[in-house]
Chain A
Amino acid sequence: MLRRPALLVALALLVLPGRTQLDAQRLTPESLQYLRGWVNAVNRHTPGYPDGAVEAIATLTYGDRVQLNPSYTFFMRPLRGEAVPARNDIERDVLELARVTRASPGAQTFLKRAAMLHADAVVFADRFPPPFNDSPTLAAGAAVPPMLFSERITLTQDGQVLGNANKNWNLPFARSLLDALRQLNPRADAEFVGDWYHAVSAYLFSKGMFADALRHLQAAARVLPDDARTLFDRGTYAEAFGLPIYQVIDDSRIPSEGRTNGDAEGHYRRALEIDPSYVEARVRLARLLDHRGRHDDAAAEIDKALSARPADVTGFYARIVAGRIAAARGKYDEALQRYREASAQFPGAQSALLGTSHAALMLADVPEALTPLVQLDRLPLRDTDPWLDYRLGAGRDASALLAALWEGASQWR
């Protein structure tokens, strides 16, 4: 499901001018029916499965959401414990639905389940036919209920603009549900909220959904300002935009390389203040410092990272970055050693083979320089180089992070 990242990447864009259908926001029998359907979907959804509840949510049109929104808005007030008088039968039915929900599964559990359902509606969106696109274009900065979120984004591939698409409304809505959860009890469920934000960030990175990730990380920064994982994710996001694959895009909305790399450096430094053992944050900080010409500072950081003996992909990144930093400092013997270590770890990694070859060549050892290139030609054409996934950050672990989230949700009563 979460295999290789889709190359389609979405960029954060403007909200285009237009108008909403807020004049249709009335609590009607139809709206109550939509609310019953939504509550039922939340209660019957099994997290991590593209079940009927996910399908019901994933296929909602904008018009459906316009119908649902008034009763949902009314429902949330008693669910949060607010005393709300009923002025008619419809409101009475909504109040009763909220009362039953508070009794079982309880407001907190219901809100968490709802957040999971709407995240799953994003994760499994491609399993269902996309809903008819009846979304309006909204005025920039228009204040709309989270359920009626509607933004346009630009799609790009390998540095070239492909076209526009609508951003998925489910995540902004899910985040509003978590805001409601935190209002009920700011301390309770803090771990779940942190896990949810990180796993969803990872998923968005894994799919190249950077436009959705922008809003998501802005919300994460507000909700979890001192969370090392959130800072790491924000660093990864900023660092990705400094990579050539985004910098080559001819669009004034892409931040300058210097600015976005500066942001990334700041986030990584802050993450390391909170958690000095966050090795990948240190590796990425070292890469950025080297890229910005601060090779000695980079060497100090990468030495610290390597002293933690990182394994797996993080270890590979540490070694190729160490190789690159050593090469930049003219220490080709050290560069050769680091690249060889990386190659031993991932024999199919083109980046490590090329680094090995280059370092050997700079040591005037042509036979040694050519050996890795012979290895390169023997590799299968499928991509086996972790460097190609570097921009994904936590997205590399999206499947595992989501699986852990789903597993945790299965324990809820």
Chain B
Amino acid sequence: MAMIRVAAAALLVSLAALAVPVHTQRFSSKTLAVRVDVLVTDGRSPIAGLTAGDFELRDNGVVQRIDLVDAGEVPVNAVLALDTSESTKGQRQADLIAAGEALIAGLEPVDRAALTTFNQAVRSRIALTSDFESVRSALRAMEPRGTTAVMDGAYVALASTLDQAGRFMVVICTDGADTSSWLRATEVVDVAKRSNAVVYAVTSADARRSEDLKQLADATGGQMMTIRASAELRGTFERILAEFRSRYVLAYTPQGVAPGGFHRIDVAVPRRRATVKARPGYAGAGGNE
């Protein structure tokens, strides 16, 4: 396969424009190079009705001219990355399947879903599709066994978004700690910084060594959620989808900054008392940081 080297920051958008025509109208590589999913809350609930003028976005400290894309009109791509290790047997598995089905039930026909599972082995069970029944069937066919390779699973889920267009939420759910991954957490976080996906990590409150998942979520402007019982999974998955839909999508072509290296992004809503959550930056052209 021919080597195609492209600037890392613009890469995803460019490929998106080529790969999936339905989304190219919104994410043209000619006009929009960097896209940022932003969650704005009053501390508890999302704040709706903001316009582009309400936001201030700095790329490496330089204020940028931004466009605000109506997130409500952009299809959602939901990638589920679910733990199928031995410890998810029984009620946990039933609750996990129910949670996955509930999230899928909340998707619109224009949305898409995908399923990656991981124990020590990682598999993309279902690639992005609007055939939600196939995802449901795959969910029901999950067989818990083996150990847990969370970071390897997270990597495959994130990588599955790289040649696709649209907005992505990656929901990583595990009941335990990573015991088997080959990839290091820092390596997966590096990839997360290069993707447009927003990572939501769901883990049990007693899971050890979950800092890596928090770092992964933070690197994408996402969130880590801890639950005390698997019965909470369904509500948590539903909240994740609702929160993702309430996000704003900012887009801009970087101006006045060098293209390479890691670009720090700061997003603010200066005239409102608001909490803003967005990915902290992106890897620019030729940057490997």
Please give the residue numbers on chain A whose beta carbons come within 8 Å of chain B beta carbons, in ascending order. Answer: 7, 157-160, 243-245, 247-248, 250, 320, 324, 327, 330, 332, 350-351, 354-355, 357-358, 361-371, 373, 376-377, 379, 381, 383, 385, 387-388
Partner of A355, one of B6, B179, B183, B208: B183
Tell whether, in the assembled complex, residue A158 and residue B1 are in contact, meaning their CB atoms are under 8 Å apart: no
Give the Cβ gap from B260 to chain A, nearest Cβ, in Å: 12
Query: What B residues does A363 contact at CB under 8 A?
Result: 5
Tell whether, in the assembled complex, residue A362 and residue B180 are in contact, meaning their CB atoms are under 8 Å apart: no
Tell whether, in the assembled complex, residue B3 and residue A365 are in contact, meaning their CB atoms are under 8 Å apart: yes
Is B220's beta carbon under 8 Å from chain A? no
With contact pairs A350-B152, A364-B11, A368-B1 given, residues A245 and B147 touching in the complex (Cβ less than 8 Å): yes
Tell whether, in the assembled complex, residue A388 and residue B180 are in contact, meaning their CB atoms are under 8 Å apart: yes
Which are the 3 A-B pairs with shortest beta-carbon distances? A351-B182, A248-B177, A245-B179
Tell whether, in the assembled complex, residue A159 and residue B121 are in contact, meaning their CB atoms are under 8 Å apart: no
Query: What B residues does A387 contact at CB under 8 A?
Result: 182
Query: What A residues does B190 contact at CB under 8 A?
Result: 362
Tell me how many residues of B have a C-beta within 8 Å of chain A.
45
With contact pairs A244-B179, A354-B155 given, residues A362 and B288 touching in the complex (Cβ less than 8 Å): yes
Tell whether, in the assembled complex, residue A358 and residue B11 are in contact, meaning their CB atoms are under 8 Å apart: no
Is B120's beta carbon under 8 Å from chain A? yes
Partner-binding segment picked from B156-164, B238-246, B262-270: B156-164
Query: What A residues does B194 contact at CB under 8 A?
Result: 361
Between-chain CB contacts (< 8 Å), 17 pairs: A159-B176, A244-B179, A245-B147, A248-B209, A320-B182, A350-B152, A354-B122, A354-B152, A354-B183, A357-B155, A357-B159, A358-B187, A361-B162, A366-B11, A366-B163, A370-B163, A377-B123
In the assembled complex, the Cα of A320 lies from the Cα of B183 at a distance in Å of 11
CB nearest to B162 among chain A residues: A366
Tell whether, in the assembled complex, residue A368 and residue B120 are in contact, meaning their CB atoms are under 8 Å apart: no
Tell whether, in the assembled complex, residue A377 and residue B159 are in contact, meaning their CB atoms are under 8 Å apart: no
In the assembled complex, the Cα of A381 lies from the Cα of B6 at a distance in Å of 34
Is B203's beta carbon under 8 Å from chain A? no
Tell whether, in the assembled complex, residue B182 and residue A364 are in contact, meaning their CB atoms are under 8 Å apart: no
Partner of A245, one of B7, B123, B162, B180: B180
Tell whether, in the assembled complex, residue A366 and residue B4 are in contact, meaning their CB atoms are under 8 Å apart: yes
In the assembled complex, the Cα of A239 lies from the Cα of B2 at a distance in Å of 41
Binary contact track B106-125/A, C-beta < 8 Å → 1, others 0: 00000000000000111110
Tell whether, in the assembled complex, residue A158 and residue B123 are in contact, meaning their CB atoms are under 8 Å apart: no
In the assembled complex, the Cα of A361 lies from the Cα of B12 at a distance in Å of 12
Is B71's beta carbon under 8 Å from chain A? no
Give the Cβ gap from A249 to chain B, nearest Cβ, in Å: 8
Give the Cβ gap from B153 to chain A, nearest Cβ, in Å: 10
Query: What A residues does B179 contact at CB under 8 A?
Result: 158-159, 243-245, 248
Tell whether, in the assembled complex, residue B4 and residue A365 are in contact, meaning their CB atoms are under 8 Å apart: yes
Extra pairs beyond A364-B286, A366-B15, A367-B4 (19, CB < 8 Å) = A7-B86, A158-B176, A160-B176, A244-B178, A244-B180, A244-B209, A245-B147, A330-B288, A358-B183, A361-B162, A361-B191, A365-B5, A366-B11, A366-B162, A367-B163, A370-B163, A379-B121, A385-B120, A388-B147
Tell whether, in the assembled complex, residue A160 and residue B288 are in contact, meaning their CB atoms are under 8 Å apart: no
Query: What A residues does B11 contact at CB under 8 A?
Result: 364, 366
In the assembled complex, the Cα of A362 lies from the Cα of B124 at a distance in Å of 21
Give the Cβ gap from B87 to chain A, nearest Cβ, in Å: 6
CB nearest to A247 among chain B residues: B209
In the assembled complex, the Cα of A320 lies from the Cα of B181 at a distance in Å of 13
**Interface residues in B143-159 (C-beta closer than 8 Å to A):** 146-148, 152, 155-156, 159
Give the Cβ gap from B151 to chain A, nearest Cβ, in Å: 9
Query: What B residues does A365 contact at CB under 8 A?
Result: 3-5
Is B196's beta carbon under 8 Å from chain A? no
Query: What B residues does A157 contact at CB under 8 A?
Result: 86-87
In the assembled complex, the Cα of A361 lies from the Cα of B184 at a distance in Å of 15
With contact pairs A364-B6, A366-B4 given, residues A350 and B177 touching in the complex (Cβ less than 8 Å): no
Is B97's beta carbon under 8 Å from chain A? no
Tell whether, in the assembled complex, residue B159 and residue A332 are in contact, meaning their CB atoms are under 8 Å apart: no
In the assembled complex, the Cα of A320 lies from the Cα of B184 at a distance in Å of 13
Is B8's beta carbon under 8 Å from chain A? yes
Give the Cβ gap from A83 to chain B, nearest Cβ, in Å: 58
Give the Cβ gap from A406 to chain B, nearest Cβ, in Å: 32
With contact pairs A159-B208, A250-B208, A366-B11 given, residues A383 and B120 touching in the complex (Cβ less than 8 Å): yes
Tell whether, in the assembled complex, residue B182 and residue A370 are in contact, meaning their CB atoms are under 8 Å apart: no
With contact pairs A158-B147, A358-B187, A373-B159 given, residues A364 and B208 touching in the complex (Cβ less than 8 Å): no
Tell whether, in the assembled complex, residue A364 and residue B183 are in contact, meaning their CB atoms are under 8 Å apart: no
Query: What A residues does B180 contact at CB under 8 A?
Result: 244-245, 388
Query: What B residues does A388 contact at CB under 8 A?
Result: 120, 147, 180
Tell whether, in the assembled complex, residue A364 and residue B160 are in contact, meaning their CB atoms are under 8 Å apart: no
Query: What B residues does A351 contact at CB under 8 A?
Result: 182
In the assembled complex, the Cα of A384 lies from the Cα of B270 at a distance in Å of 54
In the assembled complex, the Cα of A110 lies from the Cα of B159 at a distance in Å of 62
Query: What B residues does A367 contact at CB under 8 A?
Result: 1-2, 4, 163
Tell whether, in the assembled complex, residue A369 and residue B159 are in contact, meaning their CB atoms are under 8 Å apart: yes
Give the Cβ gap from A396 to chain B, nearest Cβ, in Å: 16
Partner of B87, one of A160, A243, A354, A366: A160
In the assembled complex, the Cα of A332 lies from the Cα of B209 at a distance in Å of 28
Give the Cβ gap from A351 to chain B, nearest Cβ, in Å: 4
In the assembled complex, the Cα of A370 lies from the Cα of B182 at a distance in Å of 17
Is B77's beta carbon under 8 Å from chain A? no
Give the Cβ gap from A337 to chain B, nearest Cβ, in Å: 14
Give the Cβ gap from B207 to chain A, nearest Cβ, in Å: 9
Give the Cβ gap from B214 to chain A, nearest Cβ, in Å: 16
Query: What B residues does A350 contact at CB under 8 A?
Result: 121-122, 152, 182
Tell whether, in the assembled complex, residue B87 and residue A158 are in contact, meaning their CB atoms are under 8 Å apart: yes
Give the Cβ gap from B100 to chain A, nearest Cβ, in Å: 19
CB nearest to A243 among chain B residues: B179
In the assembled complex, the Cα of A351 lies from the Cα of B180 at a distance in Å of 10
In the assembled complex, the Cα of A371 lies from the Cα of B159 at a distance in Å of 11
Tell whether, in the assembled complex, residue A358 and residue B191 are in contact, meaning their CB atoms are under 8 Å apart: yes
Give the Cβ gap from B194 to chain A, nearest Cβ, in Å: 7
Choose among B6, B87, B159 the residue with the greatest number of A CB atoms under 10 Å from its CB: B159
With contact pairs A248-B209, A364-B6 given, residues A355 and B156 touching in the complex (Cβ less than 8 Å): no
Tell whether, in the assembled complex, residue B122 and residue A376 are in contact, meaning their CB atoms are under 8 Å apart: yes
Partner of B1, one of A7, A330, A371: A371
Tell whether, in the assembled complex, residue B5 and residue A364 are in contact, meaning their CB atoms are under 8 Å apart: yes
